[in-house]
Amino acid sequence: MSKPTSGRIAYVNARLLDPATNLDVMGGLLTEGEVITDFGEGYAKADGQYGDADIVDCQGACLTPGLVDIRVQLREPGEEHKGTLKSAGEAATSSGVTSMVCLPNTQPVTDDMSVVEFVARRARLLGLTKVYPYGAITKGLQGTDMAEMGMLSESGAVAFTDGVRAVASAKVMRKALAYAKNHDLLLVQHPEEPSLAEGGHMNAGALAARMGLSGIPKVAETIMVARDVRLAEDTGGRLHFAHISTAESIDIIRRAKERGVRVTCDTAPPYFSLNELAVGEYRTFAKLSPPLRDEEDRRAIIEGLKDGTIDIIASDHAPEDEDSKRLPFAQAAFGGVGLETLLAITLELYHNKHMSLLDCLRTVTCNPADIIGLSAGRLAVGAAADLCIFDPDRGWKIDADQLASKSKNSPFDGRLAQGRCLRTVIDGRTVFTLEQ
């Protein structure tokens, strides 16, 4: 595919996929400047058919709305040795991610309007993936005093979370949910009861015992999910649970949705594609938070995605530098990079016949956009020309050393994958093309 040069671009011979409308046809799409001006069936390459538009022949590849990733740790400001807005943007665009929402656990914490504005301004200057900041629920992420969520929302925060920390106090969480209800805000919880998780390094169970490692019990997650579902039900606030990893949590959320509680959730690729055995010989790249669970939980995550209980797949991108990971397992940091593998690992659900291609893409396009409240994730005339063109069958081997992320701590290092982004377009500009 050639690189376009003019302001009008025709993407032809594409398999158009729009999960928001269940569109799946061979056709094409026209853009002018930053927006989509037309799309549909029957767009084939033909001289003169599109006037002065540049032609991009997709050669049968899939064209879908750009991916929306709602859980990314950027590390900037404050920990630029682990990652930056630029390195995260380059990693995101290589996987077709055109919008991402960043956690507030930066230095300083995103509990102040100036930090929200800094992130937004810096991202605009880079011109890569669009970045939207979360605001903190509590000041300094300390879990005690509520941050100025109303003012942060006015400054551009799209939702609120304490990042990789749970709001442990039921009283504070109830107060925050009640405030969120009155101001139509969304709260995102890291569901892990701190006192139960403290000192743990992997999933509690027989494997942890054999490896001589302290475990994090499943109940650390489920007890927090159960508590916060009740608080959301009591207050009427909107609540989203991040990176769900256990079968019991899915059951609790499924029943809550049936009762009409305003609750949603996401998971991350490691939790449906890996289990605790990936820790192997103390493999620190597989030390994640929450920890990889057992095979029963992995299968339950897939079922939760299939029946729609789990709304979103997010990368849970958490870059850690080499010094933080190449340590004895108990001392190593939690977290794995995930932006560049988000598309390929999500497509495993399609290749393994768990979900249709549209259903897979729904979890990374319109669902996250709708829940967070972003104008993204769908093909529509007049919408921003944020596009991902990919080959779902293209095979490749994930090599952590070749990733664009500044940190290389991928739990999928060495894994064979199927599905590759060929081109990423943001506001009508090609920002990534795969080297042939």
Q: Average pLDDT of 273-290?
A: 96
Sign of CA pseudo-dihedral 353, 357, 359, 362: positive
Q: Considering only 36-45, 100-109, 116-125, 369-378, which range has the smallest mean pLDDT?
A: 116-125
* Position 50 confidence tier, pLDDT thresholds 50, 70, 90: confident
Q: Note whether 52 and 102 are same-domain residues.
A: no
Residue 57 sits in a domain of what CATH number? 2.30.40.10
Assigned domain for 192 exists: yes
The residue from 18, 316, 370, 386 that is catalytic is 316
* Position 112 confidence tier, pLDDT thresholds 50, 70, 90: confident
Q: Note whether 277 and 314 are same-domain residues.
A: yes
Q: Note whether 314 and 410 are same-domain residues.
A: no
- Which of 71, 147, 79 has its CA nearest to residue 110? 147
Q: Note whether 13 and 116 are same-domain residues.
A: no
Assigned domain for 379 exists: no
The residue among 324, 344, 372 that closes a domain is: 372
What pLDDT digit, counting tens, does each position of 327-362 carry? Answer: 999 999 999 999 999 999 999 999 999 999 999 999
Residue 162 bears catalytic tag: no
Q: Note whether 83 and 127 are same-domain residues.
A: yes
Assigned domain for 2 exists: no
Assigned domain for 1 exists: no
Q: Note whether 92 and 200 are same-domain residues.
A: yes
Q: Note whether 51 and 71 are same-domain residues.
A: no
Q: Note whether 423 and 304 are same-domain residues.
A: no
pTM: 0.95
Q: Note whether 214 and 257 are same-domain residues.
A: yes
Q: Note whether 332 and 404 are same-domain residues.
A: no
Q: Is the pLDDT of residue 238 over 70?
A: yes
Q: What are the backbone dihedrals phi and psi of residue 422, each rounded to the nearest 5 degrees, phi first? A: -100, -35
The residue among 372, 394, 423 that closes a domain is: 372
Residue 78 sits in a domain of what CATH number? 3.20.20.140
What pLDDT digit, counting tens, does each position of 222-233 carry? Answer: 999 999 999 999
The residue among 327, 347, 372 that closes a domain is: 372
- What is the distance between the alpha carbons of residues 145 and 161, in angstroms, rounded to a whole number? 13
Assigned domain for 377 exists: no
Instruction: For the chain, give the mean pLDDT.
Output: 94
Assigned domain for 3 exists: no
Where would I find the H helices in 184-246? 194-197, 206-211, 219-235
Q: Note whether 347 and 225 are same-domain residues.
A: yes
- Provide the 8-state DSSP code for 147: P
Assigned domain for 378 exists: no
Q: Is the pLDDT of residue 3 over 60?
A: no
Which structural domain range is residue 16 located in? 8-63+384-433
Number of domains in the chain: 2
Q: Is the pLDDT of residue 144 over 70?
A: yes
Sheet order of strands, 160-161 included: 160-161, 186-189, 238-241, 263-267, 312-313
What is the percent of the chain where pLDDT is above 90?
85
Q: What are the backbone dihedrals phi and psi of residue 197, each rounded to the nearest 5 degrees, phi first? A: -85, -20
Cβ-contact 270, 246 below 8 angstroms: no
Assigned domain for 82 exists: yes
